[in-house]
Amino acid sequence: MSDSGISTRHRNVQPEGWAPAKGYANGVLADNGVLYVGGQIGWNADKVFESHDFIGQMRQALATCARSSRPPAARSATSRA
């Protein structure tokens, strides 16, 4: 923590199997366990839009957020299922 009491340690997180983000982060995990996400868009791991309508892209964006927020062991178990 900084002198102001604000956490300064964090790490960028992203969905397993995705290429590293350039110029942005899919998520940022603070040392207190809070996950921050923002600016998610409706493309897949290959940065391709599978849907061209709002609802389809929203589903993909929410799925990406959910996948990013799971611990690595849970992501691996889900991807094997």
Return contacts of 69-72, CB within 8 angstroms, 24+ apart. Answer: 69/13, 69/27, 69/35, 69/37, 72/16
Answer yes or no: is 45 within a domain. Answer: yes
Domain extent at residue 63: 10-70
Question: Does a structural domain hold residue 25?
Answer: yes
CA distance 14 to 67: 8
16 within some domain: yes
Domain count, the chain: 1
What is the pLDDT, as a whole number, of residue 81?
42
Residue found under tokens 């992501």: 75
Asked, for residue 55, whether it belongs to a domain, the answer is: yes
Residue at 28 is within a domain: yes
Instruction: Judge whether 46 lies within some domain.
Output: yes
Q: Look at residue 71 in the predicted model and tell me its pLDDT.
A: 65
The answer as to whether 33 is a domain residue is yes
pLDDT by 10-residue block (mean), the chain, 81 residues = 64 80 82 82 87 92 78 51 42
How close are the terminal C-alpha atoms of the chain, in Å? 39
pLDDT of residue 14: 78
